[in-house]
Amino acid sequence: MRRDYEKIFRQQVVVEFDDFQAFENDIILDRPDHHIEDLVRAIVNDAITDEGLSLGWSVRDSIDHLQTFTDEDIHKFCTEFREYEFWALYAPIFVDADEDNYMTKLYCKAAANSLLAIFDYYHSVAYPRYWFATHKASAPEVAPAPAPLPKPSISIDNFIITDHREAFKAAMSKLLSGTKGKQAAIYVYMAVQRGYLKKTPAPLLQSTFKFDGTISAFNNAFSKISGTPKQYRTDLDDAFAAFSQVFDEFH
pLDDT at 137 over 70: no
Radius of gyration from C-alpha coordinates of the chain = 21
pLDDT at 51 over 60: no
The total number of residues written for the chain in this structure: 251
Give tens-digit pLDDT for 82-98. Answer: 999 999 988 888 887 66
Give tens-digit pLDDT for 19-28. Answer: 888 999 999 9
Q: Which residue has the higher pLDDT, 176 or 227?
A: 176
Identify the pLDDT of residue 246.
92
Residue pair 250/167 in contact by the 8 Å Cβ criterion: yes
Q: What's the mean per-residue pLDDT of the chain?
A: 85
Identify the pLDDT of residue 64.
83
> Residue 93: how many CB atoms within 10 A of its CB?
21
Identify the pLDDT of residue 52.
45
pLDDT at 60 over 70: no
Identify the pLDDT of residue 140.
57
Identify the pLDDT of residue 101.
79
List the one residue out of 20, 44, 13, 9 whose CA is nearest residue 150: 9
pLDDT at 244 over 50: yes
Cα distance between residue 126 and residue 37, in whole Å: 20
Q: How confident is the model at residue 63 (pLDDT cuts 50, 70, 90)?
A: confident
Cα distance between residue 210 and residue 134, in whole Å: 43
pLDDT at 118 over 90: yes
Q: What percent of the chain has pLDDT over 90?
A: 45
Residue pair 210/176 in contact by the 8 Å Cβ criterion: yes
DSSP label at residue 145: P
pTM for this predicted structure: 0.56
Q: Worst-scoring range by mean pLDDT, 63-67, 111-115, 141-145, 189-193?
A: 141-145
Q: Looking at residues 189-213, what average pLDDT do you find?
A: 90
Give the range with max mean pLDDT: 101-105, 183-187, 206-210. Answer: 183-187
> Residue 168: how many CB atoms within 10 A of its CB?
22
For the chain, list the strands marked E by DSSP.
47-49, 63-66
Q: Looking at residues 180-202, what average pLDDT do you find?
A: 91
Q: Looking at residues 188-213, what average pLDDT do you find?
A: 90
pLDDT at 159 over 80: yes
Q: List C-alpha distances in Å: 97 to 77, 91, 150, 248.
A: 27, 10, 23, 33
Q: Looking at residues 144-152, what average pLDDT do you find?
A: 68
- Domains of the chain (ranges; CATH) run 5-134 (no CATH), 156-250 (1.10.1750)
